[in-house]
Structure 1
Amino acid sequence: MGSTQNLANAPWRKSSYSGNTGGECLEVATPTGTVAIRDSKDPDLGHLRITPNAFRAFVAGVVGGQV
């Protein structure tokens, strides 16, 4: 996990399917060449950076019920 301070000015976003009820959501930002992921409930905890290909595989797994 990285520090959220490195991405303090990054445009973090949630899925359009996420509501405002405080549920379990991930937020993503796309700094140059990577995808950063963090917990929307605790953004100061840190973030995980992965490659765009790894993020596409993750999303495909979620959509396909594999994750």
Structure 2
Amino acid sequence: MINSTDLARAAWRKSSFSDQQGGCVSVADLGAYCAVRDSKNTGIHFLVSQDSWTAFISWIRQGESTVLDTSKDAGARAGPSAHG
């Protein structure tokens, strides 16, 4: 079970990719789980299994994703590609 003490002591790593406004995510390795949070709003996080996180990162590295542009001008235009 992961508790608030585990999260407070976690070694959070900030993503090497960020937008012009500094928006990015931080990730902490918690053994069987990874915790993910917004680097600017550190009070909210979610947990995923190591297997799920590894699959997600592999999916990103293989280019199976598109960038989500959430700027006011662009709107949310893209999401995960639909490869089937």
For residues 35-50 of structure 1, the aligned pairs below 5 Å read 35-44=34-43, 46-50=44-48
2:51 partner letter: N
Structure 1 stretches of 5 or more lacking a match?
Answer: none
TM-score by length of 1: 0.71
What is the DSSP-based 3-state SS (H/G/I as helix, E as strand, rest coil) of the residue aligned with 2:31?
coil
Distance of aligned partners of 1:28 and 1:61 in 2 relative to their CA distance in 1, 3 Å threshold: same
Out of 21-30 and 51-60, give the one that drifted further.
21-30
Check if 1:12 corresponds to 2:12. yes
Deviation at 1:62, TM superposition (A): 2.0
Q: How much identity, in percent, do the aligned residues show? A: 32
What is the CA RMSD across the aligned residues, in angstroms? 2.3
Deviation at 1:60, TM superposition (A): 1.9
Asked which structure has the greater RCO (Cα within 8 Å, sep 6+), the reply is 1
**Residue number in structure 2 paired with 1:28:** 27
Q: 2:12 & 2:54 partners in 1: Cα distance?
A: 17
Deviation per residue, 1:2-23 (Å, 9 max, x gap): 98x34111111113x246x642
Structure with the higher strand share, 1 or 2: 2
Q: Looking at CA atoms only, which structure, 1 or 2, has the larger radius of gyration?
A: 2
Structure with the higher helix share, 1 or 2: 1
Structure 2 stretches of 5 or more lacking a match?
Answer: 66-79
Q: How many residues align?
A: 62
TM-score by length of 2: 0.59
